[in-house]
Amino acid sequence: MRIIKYFKERKARRIYLKQYLEDFNLKNILNNPEFRSNISFKDLAFTDHKDSKKLVYLGLSSYSGYEREKYLNYVGQIFSQEDFPFVLLRTFDWVKKIRFLAIKLLISKFDTIKIETLKLNSKLIINAFNRNNDDENWIRLKIKILNTLIDDFLRDKNNYKNESPVYRRLIYLELIDRNYANLEWVIRKDTDCYNRSLIFLPIFKEYVKSNIPSLIKDNCVKIRINVFDLFLRESSPEFQFYFEAALLDDNSSIRSKANYYAKKYTNFDTRSFYIERISSFSKLINCLSEFPDERDEYLFEQGLDSTNKKIVKSSLLALKKIGTLQKFKVKIIKILLNNFNLILRLEIHKIFTLEELLMLREKFEKENKIQLFFELIKSKSYWVMLDLILELIIFSQSEKFIPILLDQIRHSSRIFEKLDPILKNNILEKIEQLKSLELSNQNITTSLLFMIKYT
């Protein structure tokens, strides 16, 4: 009987393992705590040869340190290229003994690991390097990996264009630590903006000073800002030239920085400079809007009529800073219908009273944008909006607006607005009418009554 039971258990275990390994997806299986808890080194005896490697990789991630150790020792006997990432993961295992075994295994097998394998697992290598590990053997392994990668990089620097930016950065930083000559030329050609900004490290100070004209034209904003900061620190004779270039830069952050400097530390008239130097209307509006002047109100008014959203946005912000938005309500209403989200995002709608917004209902209905109208009213009063939706449902006697009502109820967990008694009675009357029309289920009316009761 014991023999029969033994073979039944073996068969059941074999079926269980096959079920999980047949459609092998490491991520899905690693997310299965039951499988990772039950996995055992003995399972290798119940697994087909073609699935044994899969089981080994899963065994290395077992919840049991004893099982991970057994599988790690087994990998040491059959080590191949595809095993590298799974062993590397164990170099930052939470069990010290397993970390030691994994590091020792990789050191012993390092000569067999191909450069392609290291490149393929570059993200994992960088992750391992970023962990605090002062173990002597780990430092040895780290130096071996870095030396191999750097030697390959120096053989042909152009091959690295297709590698990840983070990986290239790792190589650059290591070469900087080793004081490698002429690295600045390689960094300047890098396609990644963040990597190119390494050129501003102190080691490349002389290179930067002699290459300002090309750095000013770099398409990376971070680099152009660094050039501006450099001029501010150094107070070099060329500053005036770059200061003017920064005022005309396409990036608003750089222009704002230059404008701030001009306002605080110099008597430079940026407004006259912009009017004199800029011929493009759109760029002039964008530049003047950062520190707007009341004298340019007429230009910003023209900007409100533009079809370019950036110009409209800049003009609205400028008029808001000047404090003259109230004069242009008619134009803003037109913008509101076409660029609703822009107006709400910039909080321009706050210049209108609730009564003024309610008068816009017909305009929104003609444009088939009644839902946007409700959102606009909601920004002033949740309860007025609710009253309007109920009124529309009752008047139309249609289920068309029920989803809008439901959506507003779902997103009303916190209402910090006091409900006016007259408005409260109006809403309660409409709820009763809604019940009689049988356009909504009982849950909607119950939710509405609950909201009113506890407000």
pLDDT in tens, 358-381: 998 888 888 888 888 888 888 888
Residue among 279, 276, 321, 270 nearest 300 (CA): 321
Terminal C-alpha separation, the chain: 72
* CA distances for 349 relative to 285, 318, 362, angstroms: 22, 15, 17
Report DSSP state, residue 248: T
| Structure-block tokens of residue 124 | 């994992």
State whether the Cα torsion 426-428-434-440 is positive or negative. positive
Asked whether 258 and 243 are in contact (CB, 8 A), the reply is yes
- Of the candidates 120, 115, 93, the one whose C-alpha atom is nearest the C-alpha of residue 105 is 93
Checking 225-231 for CB contacts under 8 A at 24+ apart, the result is 225/253, 225/254, 225/257, 226/197, 226/200, 228/254, 228/257, 228/258, 230/200
Tell me what percent of the chain is helix, strand and coil, each rounded to the nearest 5: 75, 0, 25
Residue 339 dihedral angles phi and psi, to the nearest 5°: -130, 60
Q: Exposed, middle or buried by CB within 10 Å (0-12, 13-18, 19+), for 250?
A: exposed
User: 174-207 pLDDT, tens per residue?
Assistant: 888 888 878 888 888 888 999 999 998 888 888 8
pLDDT score for 29: 62
Distance separating alpha carbons of residues 141 and 137, to the nearest angstrom: 6
Tokens standing for 268? 């430079």
* Tokens representing residue 224 in the block: 């152009």
Report the percentage of the chain scoring pLDDT > 90: 17
Task: Decide: 413 and 422 in contact? Cβ < 8 Å.
Answer: no
- Indicate the burial class of 172 (C-beta count within 10 angstroms; 0-12, 13-18, 19 or more): buried
Amino acid at 317: L
Closest CA to 203 of 221, 226, 186, 180: 180
Round to whole Å and give the CA distance between 274 and 357: 37
Measured CA to CA in angstroms, residue 42 lies from 13, 33, 95 at distances of: 11, 19, 21
pLDDT, one tens digit for every residue, the chain (455 residues):
455 444 455 556 666 666 666 666 666 666 667 666 777 777 776 666 666 777 787 778 888 888 888 888 888 888 888 889 889 988 888 888 989 999 999 999 999 999 889 888 888 888 888 887 778 888 999 999 999 988 888 887 667 777 888 888 888 988 888 888 788 888 888 889 999 999 988 888 888 888 888 888 888 888 888 888 877 776 555 666 677 888 888 888 888 888 888 777 677 888 899 999 999 999 999 999 988 999 999 999 999 999 899 999 999 999 999 999 999 999 999 998 888 888 888 889 889 998 999 998 888 888 888 888 888 888 888 888 888 888 888 887 777 778 878 787 777 666 777 888 888 888 888 888 877 776 666 677 777 777 777 76
Instruction: Please report, as a single letter, which amino acid is at residue 202.
Output: P
* Confidence at residue 19, expressed as pLDDT on a 0 to 100 scale: 65
How far is CA 31 from its chain centroid? 25
Tokens (6 digits) for 151: 């030697």
CB 274 within 8 A of CB 287: yes
Angle between helices 402-410 and 442-453 (to 10 degrees): 40
Secondary structure of residue 340 in the 3-state scheme: helix
| Cα–Cα distance, 331 to 333 (Å, whole number) | 5
Sign of CA dihedral 134, 139, 141, 143: positive
DSSP symbols for 64-92 = -HHHHHHHHHHHHHH--GGGHHHHHHGGG
Identity of residue 292: P
- DSSP single-letter state for residue 411: T
Query: Which residues, including other chains, have CB under 8 Å from residue 377's CB and lie 6 or more apart?
Result: 354, 357, 358, 384, 385, 388
